[in-house]
Amino acid sequence: MRVVVGVSGGIAAYKVAHLVRFFKELGHSVKVIPTQTSLNFVGAATWEALSGQPVSTSVFDAVDEVQHVRIGQEADLIVIAPATADIVARIAAGRTDDLLTATVLTATCPIVVAPAMHTEMWNNPATAANVATLRARGFHVMDPAVGRLTGKDSGAGRLPEPQDIGAFALDIVGRTKDLAGMHVVISAGGTREPLDPVRYLGNHSSGLQGTSLARAALERGARVTLVAASMTAPVPGNVTVVPAGSALELRERMLELKQDADVIIMTAAVADFRPAHYADAKIKKADGSDELTISLVKNPDILKELTSARRESGQIIVGFAAETGDSQGDVLYHGRNKALRKGADLLVVNEVGEAKGFGTADNSVVILDNEGEPLGETSGTKLEVAHAILDQVARIAAR
Ligand code: C5P
C-alpha cells in the first residue's frame, strides 16, 4: 500500500517518526510530506532516512514529475499527523499552497487527520467548524488525546499515540473492499413539492447521511449513484449524481435505476404529501381573505414499491425511518411496525426532534432487520453510522 504521511508544524512531529516506522515495518511504502514550518521541529533528513524516499514541501520541486497531482492520485492512504489548527483550516478551505495541501486536494483515498494543538485552539469555534467541514466531507478526523501538552498545561489536544493512529488508519483501509463490484444507489436530501412557479413544500433534510453513505460505499469499493433531492451536504467525487426534485421525480429516477442496483438505500426525506394542484401562475394574495387552503394528496411510497418489485437476483434494500415517540409507543415501537410494513432488508431508525437527526454532524440510530428486530445501535459521525449500516449490508451480501 502507498501511504502518504503529512506532517504539519507542531512539536508532536517528533512522535510521527514512530508512525512512519509502523507503516514501513508492515511493508508499506511511505512518502512523507512535511509542511515548511514543520521542518523547524523535525528536519527533512529524518524523514528521508526513515521513509527511504526523497522529501519536499513545495509544488515547485520535481515539477517534471507533476508531483502535486501524482502523489495524491496514487496514494492508498493519507495520514496527517500532527495536524495543526492551521493545516486543518487550509484543507477545509481547499487551499493548495504547498505540496501537502495539493496532495490532499487530488486524493480519492481515505484521509486520516490526527489533530494536535493547544486545548484553546481545539475548542475554538473556527477549528470546530473546520473539523466539522472535514468530517462532513468524509475525512476521518480523530479526536485528540487528553493529557500533558507542550508547556505546563494539559487538556484535550495531545497527538494520539502513533500506534493508535496507525491502527485507526489500517481499520479504515481494511474494511474498504467488501462492496467491490457492487452498484449502490442512494437517494438523499429532501424532496420539494411544487406549489406554484416560485413556491414548494419542503423539509429540513441536509442530505448528509446520504452523502456519508455514498462516501462509505465508495471507500468499500462500490460504484455509487446518488439520486439527489434538495441538499446542502457536499457530494464526494467519483459519485454519479442524478438530480431529483419532487417525490414523483425521485420515484421515476429510482425506478429507472433499480434494475441495475445491487443495493438501494432510501435515505431521502420524501414528502408524504404533495399539493393536489400545481398553480401555473404565482398564487396571489386574495383581497379580503386572511387564509389560504392548500389541498394535499398522498405521494406514492417509493420504498414500498421498490421492495415489492425487487429485481430477481439478490438486491438489498435499506429504508430509513425518522421517528418521534408518541402516546402509542416509543421510537422503536414505531420503527418495528414500519420495518414490517415496508419490507426492506434493513430499516435504520433514528429519533428526530430539535437538534437530532436533521442537519447535525452526528447521528444515533438503531438498525432493524426485516422482521423489526434490532441488530445494533450506533452513534457517531454520520460517516461512522454509514459504515455501521454498510457492515450489515455487507453481511447480508455475503450470505
Ligand atoms: O413512511 P416514512 O416516510 O416514515 O418512511 C421512510 C422511508 O420510506 C425512507 O426510507 C424514505 O426514503 C422512504 N419513503 C419513500 N416514499 C415516500 C415516503 C418515504 O420511499 N413517499
For the segment 82-102, the average pLDDT, to the nearest whole number, is: 97
pLDDT of 395 higher than 80 = yes
Ligand 1 centroid – CA 270 distance (Å): 6
CB 258 within 8 A of CB 304: no
* Topology annotation, domain 183-397: Rossmann fold (3.40.50)
pLDDT of 219 higher than 90 = no
Residue 136 banded pLDDT, cuts 50, 70, 90: confident
Beta strands in 178-218 (DSSP E): 183-188, 193-196, 199-201
Lowest mean pLDDT among 95-109, 216-230, 350-364: 350-364
Residue 160 banded pLDDT, cuts 50, 70, 90: very high
pLDDT, position 176? 63
Residue 60 phi, psi (nearest 5): -95, 5
What ligand 1 atom has the least distance to the C-alpha of 303? 20
pLDDT, position 287? 78
CB 95 within 8 A of CB 129: no
Ligand 1 centroid – CA 200 distance (Å): 19
Instruction: Quote the CA–CA distance of 299 and 317 in Å, as a whole number.
Output: 20
**Closest residue (by CA) to atom 7 of ligand 1?**
320
Q: Which three cell numbers stand for residue 7?
A: 506532517
What ligand 1 atom has the least distance to the C-alpha of 323? 4
Q: Which of 40, 123, 124, 203 is catalytic?
A: 203
Ligand 1 centroid – CA 154 distance (Å): 48
- 203 catalytic, yes or no? yes
Q: What is the pLDDT of residues 305-335, one digit of tens each?
A: 999 999 888 899 999 998 889 999 999 999 9
pLDDT, position 354? 55
Whether 272 lines ligand 1, by a CB cut-off of 6 Å, is: yes
Whether 319 lines ligand 1, by a CB cut-off of 6 Å, is: yes
Whether 346 lines ligand 1, by a CB cut-off of 6 Å, is: no
DSSP 8-state symbol, 203? -
Instruction: Quote the CA–CA distance of 109 and 74 in Å, as a whole number.
Output: 9
For the segment 376-393, the average pLDDT, to the nearest whole number, is: 93
Whether 191 lines ligand 1, by a CB cut-off of 6 Å, is: no
Q: Given this chain, do its domains 2-173 and 183-397 carry the same CATH topology?
A: yes
Give the type of residue at 104: V
Ligand 1 centroid – CA 223 distance (Å): 24
Average pLDDT, the chain: 93
- 256 three-class SS: helix
pLDDT, position 135? 86
Testing ligand 1's pocket by substitution, the residue of 302, 318, 370 carrying the most ligand atoms inside 8 A of its CB is 302
- CATH architecture under which domain 2-173 falls: 3-Layer(aba) Sandwich (3.40)
What ligand 1 atom has the least distance to the C-alpha of 268? 12
Give the type of residue at 330: D
Residue 359 banded pLDDT, cuts 50, 70, 90: low
**Closest residue (by CA) to atom 9 of ligand 1?**
320
Residues of the chain above pLDDT 90, percent: 78
For the segment 21-36, the average pLDDT, to the nearest whole number, is: 97
Q: Where are the alpha helices (DSSP H) in the chain?
A: 16-25, 44-51, 67-74, 85-92, 99-106, 119-123, 125-136, 162-174, 208-219, 247-257, 302-308, 331-342, 382-397
pLDDT, position 37? 97
**Closest residue (by CA) to atom 17 of ligand 1?**
301
pLDDT, position 357? 54
For the segment 294-309, the average pLDDT, to the nearest whole number, is: 97
Residue 78 phi, psi (nearest 5): -120, 130
Ligand 1 centroid – CA 305 distance (Å): 10
**Residue ranges per domain, the chain?**
2-173, 183-397
List of long-range contacts for 149-158, beta carbons under 8 Å, 24+ apart = 149/118, 149/119, 150/11, 150/118, 153/118, 153/119, 155/118, 155/119, 156/119, 156/122, 156/123, 157/115, 157/116, 157/117, 157/118, 157/119, 157/121, 157/122, 158/12, 158/116
